[in-house]
């Protein structure tokens, strides 16, 4: 104990202690290990159409009339959401399971839907629509940022069923897979190849 007091009494000892504390703080911030034990479940219903801003910023569903496809007096028979492609998630860096669907909504917009997702939580997780092949094992962990990809936003929860809007200027038919991507460490937690439904 006297030896520790002697070291801390010197400027070099205090500097080493400060560097150690700073390094530990940075490591905790960067890796966020506590997220591995924290689950966030999100359960969203499949939308029939993308929400559009209404009067005074209110959100309202874009049905046939608001989308301009049917006059108000004409009978309407919405086709409903249509699954264009689907695939099963496989594990990469972390055990991952669930179903991925590419869905066209009534208004012509598209969403990527994750159903029954179960993966680990982690720092800076994103949902990516990509043109990369889905490979099993470590060979597939890092391929998704090699080609073309579109980030659909942060992962809402590591468990449950969720929807991610595809931007209007993106042609979803050009993409063949979806990855749960950790942007912090450039690695896929899990991915699914999209096969035509």
State the virtual CA torsion across 92, 97, 191, 36 in degrees, nearest 10.
-50
DSSP string, 9-75: TSHHHHHHHHHHHHHHHHHHHHH-GGGGG---EEE-PPPSS-EEE-GGG-EEE--TTTTTSS-TTS-
**Ramachandran region of residue 40, left (φ > 0), alpha (ψ -120 to 50) or beta?**
beta
Domains and CATH numbers, the chain: 2-31 (no CATH), 79-196 (2.60.40)
Question: Of 50-54, 118-122, 164-168, where does mean pLDDT reach its minimum?
Answer: 50-54
For the ranges 30-39, 76-85, 176-185, the one whose mean pLDDT is highest: 176-185
Average pLDDT, the chain: 80
Q: What is the arithmetic mean of pLDDT over 161-167?
A: 98
* DSSP structural state of residue 138: G
Closest C-alpha among 164, 165, 172, 61 to residue 106: 61
Which residue would you say has higher pLDDT here, 138 or 64?
Answer: 138
pLDDT at 50 over 90: no
The pLDDT value given to residue 37: 61
Q: How far is residue 23's CA from residue 39's CA, in Å, rounded to a whole number?
A: 27
The pLDDT value given to residue 49: 75
Q: What is the arithmetic mean of pLDDT over 125-130?
A: 97
The pLDDT value given to residue 34: 47
The pLDDT value given to residue 55: 43
Which residue would you say has higher pLDDT here, 65 or 20?
Answer: 20
Which residue would you say has higher pLDDT here, 65 or 4?
Answer: 4
The pLDDT value given to residue 69: 41
Neighbours of 166 (CB within 10 A): 20
The pLDDT value given to residue 100: 98
pLDDT at 102 over 90: yes
Reported as a pLDDT band with limits 50, 70 and 90, residue 20 is low
């Amino acid at each position: 104990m006297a030896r520790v007091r002697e070291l801390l009494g010197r400027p070099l000892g205090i500097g080493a202690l400060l560097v150690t504390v700073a390094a530990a703080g940075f490591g905790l911030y960067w890796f966020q290990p506590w997220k591995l034990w924290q689950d966030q479940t999100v359960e969203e219903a499949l939308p029939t159409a993308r929400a559009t801003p209404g009067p005074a910023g209110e959100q309202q569903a874009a049905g046939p009339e608001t989308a301009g496809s049917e006059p108000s007096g004409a009978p309407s028979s919405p086709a409903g959401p249509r699954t264009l492609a689907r695939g099963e998630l496989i594990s990469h860096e972390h055990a991952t399971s669930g179903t991925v669907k590419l869905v066209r909504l009534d208004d012509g917009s598209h969403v990527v839907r994750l159903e029954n997702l179960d993966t680990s939580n982690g720092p800076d997780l994103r949902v990516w629509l990509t043109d990369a092949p889905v490979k099993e094992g470590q060979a597939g962990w890092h391929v998704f940022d090699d080609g073309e990809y579109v980030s659909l936003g942060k992962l809402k929860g590591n468990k449950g069923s969720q929807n991610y809007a595809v931007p209007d200027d993106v042609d979803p038919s050009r993409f063949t897979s979806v990855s749960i991507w950790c942007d912090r460490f450039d690695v896929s937690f899990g991915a699914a190849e999209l096969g035509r439904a």
